[in-house]
Amino acid sequence: MLFIPDFYIDDEMTFDEACQILRTGNSVVTGLMKIQDLWDDYCAGKFTVYECDDDFYSEWRYELNAFNIVFAAIQPIVGG
């Protein structure tokens, strides 16, 4: 799960909506991996376009929420 400040958490997003947001081609897993890579780069400080954390979360809020929703649903299946 990715950390998302409370202000940016979307409690209304459904699993189906999250899958639509993450789907790359026919694969939701590819979308999950892309968001994980984005998150890793952000945590490593590789983005200089964002002046503060709020800028990052504002730009990626839907994808980050989608990641957490799908990850929470598949975690019991894949372990972790």
pLDDT in tens, 4-43: 999 999 999 999 999 999 998 889 999 999 999 999 999 9
What pLDDT is stored for residue 78 in this prediction? Answer: 74
Rounded to whole angstroms, the Cα distance separating 32 from 58 reads: 19
Rounded to whole angstroms, the Cα distance separating 40 from 32 reads: 12
Rounded to whole angstroms, the Cα distance separating 67 from 47 reads: 20
